[in-house]
Amino acid sequence: RAVEIMGRNSISQLPVLDNEVPVGCISESAIMNAMEERGFHQTHQKLVRDCMEPGFPALPPTAPIDTIVHLLHHNHAVLVLERGKVCGVITKHDLISLIA
């Protein structure tokens, strides 16, 4: 379950994959919106696909850091794709830790 994975790993969003291909994302905000719209008890039993948002932008591993910074200014995360499959996820926290 997405909520368990997010809680266990202290993360607020996840990419949603179908056969290893990104199809969307789920975030704390999307879950909270679903709870507000449908009520807590109905949301508790919903599938990720019922709450997911459009996916994160994706780049190849060779993408310039400036492009990643720009995308993270407008998105929760950026996926790193190699041959159509996710090989990494970059977040704002990851970039900030590089300058710390």
CATH number for the domain that contains residue 38: 3.10.580.10
Question: What is the pLDDT averaged over residues 2-11?
Answer: 90
Question: Does residue 84 share a domain with residue 43?
Answer: no
Cα–Cα distances (Å) from 75 to 1, 41, 92, in that order, read: 23, 29, 9
Question: Does residue 68 share a domain with residue 45?
Answer: no
More confident residue, 41 or 87: 87
Question: Does residue 69 share a domain with residue 50?
Answer: no
State pLDDT tens for residues 25-77.
999 888 888 888 877 666 666 778 888 899 999 999 999 999 999 999 999 89
Q: Which domain holds residue 77?
A: 57-100
Provide φ and ψ at 52, rounded to 5°.
Answer: -70, 155
Question: What is the pLDDT averaged over residues 19-26?
Answer: 91
- pLDDT at position 51 is 85
Question: Does residue 76 share a domain with residue 47?
Answer: no
* pLDDT band at residue 23 using 50, 70 and 90 as cut-offs: very high
Q: Beta strand pairing status for 77-82 and 21-27?
A: unpaired
pTM value is 0.79
Question: Does residue 61 share a domain with residue 33?
Answer: no
Distance CA 68, CA 89 (A): 11
- pLDDT at position 90 is 95
Provide the domain count of the chain: 2
Provide φ and ψ at 80, rounded to 5°.
Answer: -105, 120
Plot region of 56 (φ>0 → left; ψ -120 to 50 → alpha; else → beta): beta
- pLDDT at position 41 is 67
Question: Does residue 68 share a domain with residue 29?
Answer: no
Question: Does residue 49 share a domain with residue 5?
Answer: yes
Question: Does residue 71 share a domain with residue 48?
Answer: no
Question: Does residue 50 share a domain with residue 95?
Answer: no
